[in-house]
Amino acid sequence: MRHPAVIGALLTLASCTPLPNTVGEAAPSGTVFSLVEVNDAPATYGATLRLLGSGRVLGAGPCNRFNARQSAPLPWVEISDIEASTRSCPQIRQEEAFFLALEAMDFSELAGDSLLLSNDAGQSLFFRAAEGPSS
């Protein structure tokens, strides 16, 4: 038997805590994610990503810091309008590939300190929460 007072309390609690609409809203505030794997292989370069509830995306590739937009509702992700600084380095091609991969991702899965971005083509970017200063 369902107890009406318990059901009412649960409904009241649920209405006080809105569910996150985007992966940026779902990620713990200020969390910087470090790239660990690209398409199930260890990442050969360093990159970070920070998704903010406002729809902003901040991060760093192997050469440059960047910002972008993300507005798709969960579980989707749509990173667009990537703007990066223009410093060159030996890993600039990996950075360009990273930015293209970010823009190609369609789905997001956030669990604990892990973030997986993937798409229907079987591509993926796997991140883990980083320790230390934010991007």
pTM: 0.79
Q: Can you give the residue range of the structural domain that contains 96? A: 20-129
- Whether 109 is in a domain gets the answer yes
* Residue type, position 22, single letter: T
The pLDDT of residue 26 is above 80: no
- DSSP strand pairing (124-129 vs 33-38): antiparallel
Name the domain count of the chain: 1
DSSP 44: S
Residue 53 lies in a domain: yes
- 51 with 57: CB under 8 angstroms? yes
- Would residue 1 count as lying in a domain? no
Q: Could you tell me if residue 58 is inside a domain? A: yes
Is residue 51 in some structural domain?
A: yes
Closest to 43 (Cα-Cα) out of 117, 126, 103? 126
pLDDT in tens, 93-108: 999 999 999 999 999 9
Tell me the pLDDT of the chain averaged across its residues: 83
Residue 6 lies in a domain: no
Q: Residue 98: how many CB atoms within 10 A of its CB?
A: 26
Task: Please report whether residue 111 resides in a domain.
Answer: yes
pLDDT average, residue stretch 9-18:
45
- Tell me what the mean pLDDT of segment 67-96 comes to: 92
Q: Determine the pLDDT at residue 22.
A: 73
Q: How confident is the model at residue 131 (pLDDT cuts 50, 70, 90)?
A: low
3 within a domain of the structure (yes/no):
no
Indicate if the pLDDT at residue 111 is higher than 50.
yes
Residues 36-53 have a mean pLDDT of 94
Whole-number pLDDT of residue 29: 74
Query: Which of 17-21, 75-79, 110-114 is predicted with the least confidence, judged by mean pLDDT?
Result: 17-21
Confidence label for 3 from pLDDT (cuts 50, 70 and 90): very low
CATH of the domain at 41: 2.40.128.270
What is the rounded distance in angstroms from the CA atom of residue 133 to the CA atom of residue 5? 46
